[in-house]
Structure 1
Amino acid sequence: MSFVPSAPGSSFASPPGGGPDAVRAEMPPAGYWRRWCADAAPAQTPASGNAAAKPEAERPPQVVPAERGEPPYRILIVEDDRTQALFAQSILKGSGMDTEVVALASEALAAMERFQPDLMLMDLHMPGMSGTELTAQIRSNAAYAHTPVVFLTGDTDPERHLEVLDSGADDYLSKPVRPRHLIAAVQNRVRRARALKQQREQEVRRHPATGLLTRNYMLQQLSLAFPAQTSGAVHFVVIEGTSALRDHYGYAALDAILTEAGKLVAATAGERAASRLNDNTFVVYWPGLPADRHAVWARQLRDAFLGQTLEINGDPVRLRACVGYVDLARGFPDAGGALAAAEEALRLARAEATGIAAYRPPADAVSEQAAQVLAQVQDALAHERLELAFQPIVSVVGSDQQQYQTLVRLRDAEGRLHTAAEIVPVAERAGLVHEIDRRVMTRAMAILGEQLRGSQRARLFVPQAARTLGQDGYSDWLLGAMTDLGIEGRLLVVDVRLGDALVHSVLLREFCERMMTAGVRLCLSQFQSNPEADALMAQLPLSYLRLSPHYAARIDQQAVHDEMRQVIERAHLQGLQVIGQHVEDPQTAAKLWLSGIDYIQGDLVQRAADAMDFDFQSALL
């Protein structure tokens, strides 16, 4: 006879010294025998002991949403075992996360690019590629270098754990894993990764020394604001006299003083968006500024420098600032147009005694002749009657490299050709120069693309307005066209006039930074020396400098000749090649050659023609 323990609350009696075989007697609890009495209380159903005693792991996982206002956590699961993958996916989806499953490790990087996960959850042992190999690939990709990687595997080898962590993984979970443990591990890693990402973005957004927004971030924010932004203002602030300060104190001291100027702009702007666009130019964007306070705010920005004494090498210095601004109520299709208008206002401000000016749109063409030219331009654009002519640019020491200046021509309805000098000024006033530039560049790109099917590899110098280059999306369009056609960047030289570049230097520098990575080169044409032009030559990433016709026309004047030699020497010190244009006679060509010129261009070499058939091999001068 044997007894088994009763439910909790029962009493047991066993003789002293009883062993495992000792007979135990059960003593029923008090009131036990009253169960069958007439006056007994009704039987009570005990509370569900099973539900109360369920292990913690069997409870349904708690939904863990992302922080309020944040998108759901995005988890990419890389697991070749479909059952295990669906198990993890069901747990994470049940807790409010977005998930995607990839069965092959070789497809993980493509899935990351498409899905943009916050975290990778992967198995260690997979066919074709191990988890550690995949982690190494992920970490070598700059875009995903900070994406958390968590392994979920049944491998219990401690050495393998260390190997996994050493490969760049962030955590290691052993199978079987409790749902709440999996959710907590994923949630904590994603929350931490998002916080670190936000911190890195904040660091990238502001310059550590001045507190100003970085230029790239500022331009991104402006691009997002247009064309919807139709109120407020953009103010440009330029520090005058920086060339003299550089010559007197040197580059290092100038950079230090401009950093202090940046701090002053940041302090004056306060919560408004402000950034340093180039060495001595700052921009302040105030979208909610009322129109009657635009000029007042410009004076505040200017006066911030008048009342502040800075030091350079112990010498007290007061900087002078000019401010140009544009009212955004005028309506601009993109940020490039607004910035170009602010730069134009800044050019006007430099000529004002107060150092302040508002943007004034160019007056409409009112003369009868201008109206006729404008009608011809519009008609030519509508009927595709823009043409290109080509003039060779020849090395003075001989070279096999073929290179041509492209010159736009307009053929009117009667068949007459009009030069760029006749049509471009009118087109600029009418806002059509952007369309002309795009048509010219499209034709030039087509010519460069056609060369790939033959033996010719000519380099084209293509004139463009700086405002066109600064249009939103223009550089992306140009880079995309080059990629589609397979064009080498070295065969394209973007040609910008000096006067245009001085007004829109900020837009031009932004364009250059995008295009230099593709090998595209920049030529600054119509160059004539003055302090502003010399400073711009040093600031822009140029490859070529085309001299103003002023030098060729007056080369017999000793002062002009000496100035030209100095320009050529400075350009060569900066690694630039110099082109002399409008060369009409051998005497001018000889003097240019003796002055150190690299290339000549003009009717002496060949008149502009509609074909690129010049013999460069026999063109030694």
Structure 2
Amino acid sequence: MAVREPASLPEDAAARQRMRAEAPPPHYWRRWTGDAATMPAAATPAADPTPPAPAAAASTGGEAPRDSNAESPFRILIVEDDRTQALFAQSVLHGAGMKAEVQMQPDGVIDAIGRFDPDLILMDLHMPGLDGMRLTTLIRQQPEFQLLPIVFLTGDPDPERQFEVLESGADDFLTKPIRPRHLIAAVSNRIQRSRAQQRQPSPQASAVLRSHPETGLATRGWLLQQVDEALRAGASGGLFFIEIASALGLRERYGYAAFERLMAQAGMCLARIDASAPLARLNDNSFLALARGLDESALESHAQRLRAGLAEHGFAVREDEQVQLRSAVGYTALSLGFEDAGSALEATERSALQARLHSEGVAAYVPPSDTEAQERLALLEGQLELAYQPIVAVAGNEQAQYQVLLRLRRPDGTLLSAGQVVPAAEASGRIADLDQQVMEHALDMIAQRGAEGRPLRLFVSQSPRTLAREAFADWLLQTIAQRGIDGTSVVIDLRLGDALIHSVTLGEFCRRLMAAGVQFCLSQFEPGTEADALLNQLPLGYVRMAARFAGAHADATLRDQLRGVIDQAHRLGLQVIGQQIEDPQAAAAMWMGGIDYIQGNLVSSVGSELDFDFQNAVL
């Protein structure tokens, strides 16, 4: 009798065969239990040399400890806004013995990673508010998550979109609908390779806290410890801040993965220029080098050598393309009496800002004279006063919201503006204290108005140096919780110039505060490659245009630029504010461009009271 071909099976039998083919291998989940029998090689994923976890963990339903000597169940974080799709993937992975958690809100993904500690993220592409590519970029900006596997699962068939996904930092791209065993195999293989890589012994185990395991550069924490030690010992030498130019433009053009490789190459190049000076990567586009023992008369020539060595090198960014990197180098002598590594770092960063303005791209930190220091401190003596300017919705909105403007009343009655006070506070090291005072006044006002049943939203400017302090983020989160404030009532203004320099540290601060609902506004916005990239990289809610766009009614080119920015912001779900609107023609141009909010003397001048009638305000 001839053997019956599979095609001749009855429909119900063929269906049962297909169901069996899609089911996980028998007893797959028991691979993590201590009493599991050895499974045939064909029925299991690639062999894993680590011993199984203790049986007690599985039998009691508890989680086995995750360490290098025990194989625990694979952990997958599913980021998917469609509940049906999310539960399907979770069920398939659970059936294969894995632990899978669903996160349907993109804003909660960073916190979920820290809490759940996944082996892999299964990411959807199209989600409201924060799409998968932008979310992947945010995850990759966290140093501890740069090697975490991210696999996209989406129904988008566009090959170009798949390329963009991989460029954003993803590891793989799976297309819906996907067969369950295909999903299990793809996830398992990726996690097995990741775990095997993590188990590899470090060739420099004794220096794990001192150097980065992949680049070999010093870690930021270790290098700052060395700076502290050098300052306490009164050592000679210098500290060098090297900032790579056009970093956001490079990332936008070549993608995150290629940009990271480029920065790794730049770090190794700088380390080779002076192997005796430890070098650390500070953030996405800057490095710090400590030249201990170097004669102070040689600091400038050393800074020039660092910059020239970087510029002369050709860095491979693609198989057939190389780039040259420009940089600005700021430096300071260690002998200038810094209290700690933090103050020395601020000085070198300030000198790097000056280096940007010099044609040779190098600048030294020059401490203020005693007279200048005393004048700056005297400038800060006085009573803090806050002024407010309404931010009004063009389409009409009852939401009361104001820009907070800093004023300082000196003992002689003189009223100083923020433009006078902030530079003095930064130069004297008092900016964090000043920022906290301003924020505390704003929070008091929000809490008071909330208790009166008159909700209020305030836009508050803060220095990037303040936002980089972890203690400030802790204080702000605690204060918001203690006073029962709705976090969405607080909008922190980030100036474009600051954000371009401090994108990594500002991004970290923003993501911490997002958990409390705090929102962020990118101010003084000017369109450009690097600025446009920030709109995708920072978790913003608002964009405030630079003051010159108030003249768009008289300049067709400016008007077109304004419309382009507004269209781009709206595609990203951001709202746009036009400032310094002084006349009806300017307001009309903003309105025609699609602006969301305006502020300026046409609406209301700056005042000390919060009594503007938003309910009846119409453009």
Tell me the TM-score normalised to structure 2 length. 0.59
Kept after mapping to 1: 8 A contact 2:276/2:291: no
Which piece of structure 1 moves more, 340-349 or 580-589?
340-349
1:230 Cα offset (Å) = 5.8
Q: Does the alignment pair 1:337 with 2:343?
A: yes
Cα pair distance change 1:379/1:249, threshold 3 Å: closer
1:538 Cα offset (Å) = 5.0
The aligned counterpart of 1:121 is none
Deviations 1:575-621 (A, max 9, x none): 43221111122321121121122211112222223232333333343
The aligned counterpart of 2:321 is 315
Q: Does the alignment pair 1:398 with 2:396?
A: yes
1:445 Cα offset (Å) = 2.1
Instruction: For 2:559 and 2:571, locate their aligned partners in 1 and report how far apart those are by CA, in whole Å.
Output: 19
Instruction: For 1:612 and 1:606, locate their aligned partners in 2 and report how far apart those are by CA, in whole Å.
Output: 11
Kept after mapping to 2: 8 A contact 1:226/1:334: no
The aligned counterpart of 1:239 is 244
Instruction: For 1:473 and 1:578, locate their aligned partners in 2 and report how far apart those are by CA, in whole Å.
Output: 31
The aligned counterpart of 2:216 is 211
Kept after mapping to 1: 8 A contact 2:223/2:278: no
| Corresponding residue to 1:521 among 519, 523, 529 | 519
Residue identity matched to 1:550:
R
- 1:215-364 matches, within 5 Å, as 217=221, 221=225, 228=232, 231=235, 232-242=237-247, 245=250, 249=254, 253-268=258-273, 270=275, 273-286=278-291, 289-311=294-316, 312-333=318-339, 335-361=341-367
1:518 Cα offset (Å) = 3.5
Instruction: For 1:446 and 1:199, locate their aligned partners in 2 and report how far apart those are by CA, in whole Å.
Output: 51
The aligned counterpart of 1:168 is none
Which piece of structure 1 moves more, 589-598 or 225-234?
225-234
Which piece of structure 1 moves more, 529-538 or 467-476?
529-538
The aligned counterpart of 1:7 is none
1:442 Cα offset (Å) = 1.7
Instruction: For 1:389 and 1:273, locate their aligned partners in 2 and report how far apart those are by CA, in whole Å.
Output: 47
Residue identity matched to 2:243:
V
Kept after mapping to 1: 8 A contact 2:388/2:606: yes
Instruction: For 1:230 and 1:496, locate their aligned partners in 2 and report how far apart those are by CA, in whole Å.
Output: 37
Kept after mapping to 2: 8 A contact 1:344/1:504: no
The residue matched to 1:476 in structure 2 has which SS? helix
The aligned counterpart of 1:558 is 556
Instruction: For 2:577 and 2:369, locate their aligned partners in 1 and report how far apart those are by CA, in whole Å.
Output: 34
- 1:577-616 matches, within 5 Å, as 577-616=575-614
Instruction: For 1:353 and 1:316, locate their aligned partners in 2 and report how far apart those are by CA, in whole Å.
Output: 24
Instruction: For 1:597 and 1:449, locate their aligned partners in 2 and report how far apart those are by CA, in whole Å.
Output: 30
Instruction: For 1:532 and 1:344, locate their aligned partners in 2 and report how far apart those are by CA, in whole Å.
Output: 21
Deviations 1:198-252 (A, max 9, x none): 999977876554333566x568858976985865543222233446655665555
Instruction: For 1:310 and 1:586, locate their aligned partners in 2 and report how far apart those are by CA, in whole Å.
Output: 52
Structure possessing the higher radius of gyration over alpha carbons: 1
Cα pair distance change 1:585/1:318, threshold 3 Å: closer
Kept after mapping to 2: 8 A contact 1:521/1:543: yes
Instruction: For 1:305 and 1:501, locate their aligned partners in 2 and report how far apart those are by CA, in whole Å.
Output: 24
Kept after mapping to 1: 8 A contact 2:304/2:362: yes
The residue matched to 2:560 in structure 1 has which SS? helix
1:557 Cα offset (Å) = 1.5
Which piece of structure 1 moves more, 572-581 or 588-597?
572-581
Residue identity matched to 2:364:
A
1:425 Cα offset (Å) = 4.1
The aligned counterpart of 1:512 is 510
The residue matched to 2:465 in structure 1 has which SS? helix
1:338 Cα offset (Å) = 3.0
The aligned counterpart of 2:543 is 545
Cα pair distance change 1:503/1:254, threshold 3 Å: closer
1:422 Cα offset (Å) = 4.4
The residue matched to 2:366 in structure 1 has which SS? coil
Kept after mapping to 2: 8 A contact 1:209/1:259: no
Alignment gaps of 5+ in structure 1: 1-130, 150-194
Kept after mapping to 2: 8 A contact 1:364/1:430: no
The aligned counterpart of 1:458 is 456
1:552 Cα offset (Å) = 0.7
Instruction: For 1:496 and 1:332, locate their aligned partners in 2 and report how far apart those are by CA, in whole Å.
Output: 28
Kept after mapping to 2: 8 A contact 1:583/1:604: yes
Kept after mapping to 1: 8 A contact 2:389/2:403: yes
Instruction: For 2:295 and 2:59, locate their aligned partners in 1 and report how far apart those are by CA, in whole Å.
Output: 55
Kept after mapping to 2: 8 A contact 1:344/1:503: no
- 1:81-120 matches, within 5 Å, as none
Cα pair distance change 1:288/1:374, threshold 3 Å: closer
Cα pair distance change 1:251/1:437, threshold 3 Å: closer
Cα pair distance change 1:145/1:590, threshold 3 Å: same
1:513 Cα offset (Å) = 4.6
Deviations 1:328-377 (A, max 9, x none): 4334445443333222222222333333222234578879xx96x974x4
Residue identity matched to 1:295:
E
1:495 Cα offset (Å) = 1.7
Kept after mapping to 2: 8 A contact 1:339/1:507: no
Cα pair distance change 1:614/1:333, threshold 3 Å: farther
Alignment gaps of 5+ in structure 2: 1-55, 71-199
Kept after mapping to 2: 8 A contact 1:226/1:335: no
Cα pair distance change 1:507/1:147, threshold 3 Å: closer
Q: Does the alignment pair 1:448 with 2:446?
A: yes
1:405 Cα offset (Å) = 0.9
The residue matched to 1:473 in structure 2 has which SS? helix
Instruction: For 1:199 and 1:485, locate their aligned partners in 2 and report how far apart those are by CA, in whole Å.
Output: 48
Residue identity matched to 2:569:
A
Instruction: For 1:335 and 1:501, locate their aligned partners in 2 and report how far apart those are by CA, in whole Å.
Output: 23
Cα pair distance change 1:522/1:427, threshold 3 Å: same
| Corresponding residue to 1:410 among 402, 405, 408 | 408
- 1:140-219 matches, within 5 Å, as 207=212, 209-213=214-218, 217=221
The residue matched to 2:386 in structure 1 has which SS? strand
The aligned counterpart of 2:419 is 421
Which piece of structure 1 moves more, 218-227 or 557-566?
218-227
Residue identity matched to 1:351:
L
Residue identity matched to 1:235:
F
Deviating beyond 6 angstroms after TM superposition, the runs of 4 or more aligned structure 1 residues are 131-137, 195-205, 222-227, 363-367
